[in-house]
Amino acid sequence: MSTNTIIELNNLYLKSDRGEVIFKDLNFKLTAGQSAVIVGAAGSGKSLLVELLIGRRYPESGSVELFGEVIKPCRKKMIKRIRRKIGGVGGLFKLVPSYNVAENILYPLILTAERKKVRKEQLLKMLTEFSLLKQTGELPHNLTRVENTLVQLARATIANQPLIIIDELLAGLDQKTYQRIYDYLVKLSLSGRSMVILSSEKLTKEVPNTSNYTIMNGALV
């Protein structure tokens, strides 16, 4: 596996908690700077794929490699390290209810023990980018759905995480917000960040450097 490979899934076989086969001989590779849009119907295993990528679930057979390291249940420290390189939006990823907007956005930088000056600069940059300056001290339950999404996006990118997982983010958004988030994703893609965008329907607009996949019969095609 080359050093710039972000994700490599080899011959993945996974069953759901109810025993149904979800992935059968699934292979997937994503290199640095590349992104993937994975489309799948409800129940096709998109969320399970996210769980595999963040080390919350392990396959029955096959391997999940992220940033050159194989994810195994016994390697908790490695999983913790890998999770810090991933920014997550939507699906499993939610805001911390007891933290306000600023605390939520800053959390990845707290984990990496970033200097106060850098944290301040980055926070201001994110709040400005997503027009969240007025909401800085608000708790998540006081935010609108769009604001909530924007805060998640800010949190997922503040620490320059090399991989961003976006689960059903664009579904049900109004045209204006869709365009705004789409523009930001394009910006991220052009800046060399890798993204995995999971969606139940095809994106109406193409994101640069992105390959399209569909989950079909337990495999990615």
Binding site for another protein (CB under 8 A): 54, 56, 80-84, 86, 88, 92-99, 107-108, 110-111, 113-116, 155
Who contacts 160 (Cβ-Cβ below 8 Å, separation ≥6)? 193
Identify the bridge partners of residue 35 per DSSP, sorted by sequence position: 195, 210
State in angstroms the smallest separation of the CB of 108 from another protein: 6
Identify the bridge partners of residue 211 per DSSP, sorted by sequence position: 36
Nearest CB to another protein, comparing residues 41 and 92: 92
Cα–Cα distance measured from residue 6 to residue 126, given in angstroms and rounded to the nearest whole number: 25
Structure tokens at 62: 């096959």
Nearest CB to another protein, comparing residues 49 and 95: 95
State in angstroms the smallest separation of the CB of 208 from another protein: 27
Nearest CB to another protein, comparing residues 92 and 133: 92
Nearest CB to another protein, comparing residues 97 and 172: 97
Cα–Cα distance measured from residue 9 to residue 48, given in angstroms and rounded to the nearest whole number: 13
Which residue do the tokens 């869709």 mark? Answer: 178
Structure tokens at 201: 């329907």
Nearest CB to another protein, comparing residues 40 and 108: 108
Nearest CB to another protein, comparing residues 28 and 93: 93
State in angstroms the smallest separation of the CB of 18 from another protein: 21
Cα–Cα distance measured from residue 199 to residue 196, given in angstroms and rounded to the nearest whole number: 10
State in angstroms the smallest separation of the CB of 137 from another protein: 14
Cα–Cα distance measured from residue 29 to residue 48, given in angstroms and rounded to the nearest whole number: 17
State in angstroms the smallest separation of the CB of 44 from another protein: 22
State in angstroms the smallest separation of the CB of 195 from another protein: 17
What does R_g of the chain's alpha carbons equal in angstroms?
17
Please check whether residue 126 is in contact with residue 49, taking contact to mean a CB–CB distance below 8 angstroms: no
